Amino acid sequence: MATYEQIRSDVREQHGRYVQNCWIAHVKELNGLTSRTAHNRKSRDTRAKTCPAEVRPVIEASMRRLKMI
């Protein structure tokens, strides 16, 4: 399983974009890859920052390259 830093650097190299950890976590959750809730999450039902729709395919492509999905 790739780390958040590996995903961020892959996206930066391939697309020249910066992605936030919370966006990566949101995409992982949407793809069924999370097994627990972060200890510092304020609400279990909602996210403070969701991944923008235009960034989701970029993160998913990186996750495919890194063989996470």
Model confidence pLDDT, tens digit, residues 18-56: 999 999 999 999 999 987 888 888 888 888 899 999 999
Tell me the DSSP string of 18-39.
---HHHHHHHHHHTT---S--T
pTM of the full structure: 0.92
**Do 60 and 69 touch, CB atoms closer than 8 A?**
yes
Give 1's pLDDT tier (boundaries 50, 70, 90). confident
Which residue's structure tokens are 């949101």?
A: 26
* Domain spans, the chain: 4-65
Does residue 15 surpass a pLDDT of 90? yes
Q: What is the pLDDT of residue 40?
A: 86
Token code pair at residue 4: 């958040």
